[in-house]
Amino acid sequence: MDIDHLLEQMVKHGASDLHLQESFKPSLRIDGTLRRLDMKPSSSEDLKTALKKVLTDKQHTRFTQTNEGDGSYQVEEIGRFRVNAYRALDLQNLAIRYIPFEVPKLESLNLPDKIPELALSKRGLVLVTGVTGSGKSTTLAAMLRHINENMRMKIITLEDPVEFLHEEQLCSISQREVGIDTSDYHTGLTQVFRQNPDVILLGEIRDAAVMSEALAGAETGHMVFTTLHTTDARHTISRVLSFYPPHDHQAIRELLSGVLVATISMRLLPKKEGGRIPAVELMVNTALISEIIAEEGRLYELPQLIHDGHLQYGMQTFDQCILQQYRDGLIDYEIARVNSSNPSEFDLAIQGITGGGAESK
């Protein structure tokens, strides 16, 4: 098994991920669906050879000691790849994510019109959320590109591993990889404020210590971008609070209400004509939303405020986004309905459109 050839085939077929599992045929994830390749199952030696090629010596040693390994790998003229090695039932496994060489432009990602403006915020915290594979890393990379093209800033990223590579334009950019450029997240974070950044990107919030550093960075005048594995704005605020003991919640609510710029929550939906498109909930931290975040027991009010803030603030709920994508002919009815928060209300919205003289698509 030639791992570089497999990665080339992965890119050729437009796959987002390659899965290698000892004793099974390789699989590609294309438009969110796994497809087995028509080739012989991967042997133990195949996986050992692939692991040694895609992981550094240090990463490979960690895998042999802990059965877990993360890294990045690059094939010239093909692309970069995020690598995760692990064992399951004592069998070797590799999960490999494709990362294009070119950082996409925000305008190419079908994101809300408000996002470019949010990317150029001078200070505060932007949380990009969603499940694994929902487009968080791509969105953050595009936001950094937008900053790089429009502002003169010092950008420092702390990633595990480094994914998209940014070429300096107007900005000075330092991309640091955990395990290579710094020993761990916490060490890197304790040093980042001494490195005079304007913009800080943290690959992921993993615990209270990292969350506290992100909040501290935003509070001290930096622009901080990071991700969480949460589904929407309401659950994102709850997740931030869950990092801390209950007696700290009020202080964290007040801090978060002051530094939060926006939450961008993402899902990827299949398009009518192939490929996928992001459905996005966008919450912008207005004065009223800040008040709700700061007060205990009011997070249930967020969905309605996001809905009502569409025209004035550029906010949108998932349902508003999905309805518009359906009306624009980008997704079909069944996909739109099953992914809406309330399918019955979605049907009523469609009937309302039809009743008003617009043709249902």
pLDDT at 127: 98
pLDDT at 225 over 60: yes
pLDDT in tens, 263-278: 999 999 999 988 999 9
Question: Do 3-99 and 106-316 agree at the fold level?
Answer: no
Section 296-323 average pLDDT: 96
Mean pLDDT of 332-361: 73
**What does the mean pLDDT of the chain come to?**
93
pLDDT, tens digit, 9 for 90 and up, residues 1-46: 899 999 999 999 999 999 999 999 999 999 989 999 999 999 999 9
Q: Which residue ranges make up each domain of the chain?
A: 3-99, 106-316
pLDDT band at 345 (very low <50, low <70, confident <90, very high): confident
CATH label, 3-99, candidates 3.30.450.90, 3.30.420.80, 3.30.70.100, 3.10.20.30: 3.30.450.90
Long-range contacts at 70-76 (CB < 8 A, ≥ 24 apart): 70/160, 70/161, 70/179, 71/161, 71/179, 72/99, 72/161, 72/162, 72/163, 72/177, 75/4, 75/7, 75/8
Confidence check: pLDDT of 189 > 50: yes
Q: Omega before 26 cis (within 30°)?
A: no
CATH classification number, 106-316, choose in 3.60.20.10, 3.90.1150.10, 3.40.50.300, 3.20.20.140: 3.40.50.300
Q: Is 65 exposed, middle or buried (0-12, 13-18, 19+ CB in 10 A)?
A: exposed
Q: Are 30 and 13 in contact (CB under 8 A)?
A: yes
What's the pTM value of the predicted model, to 2 decimals?
Answer: 0.91
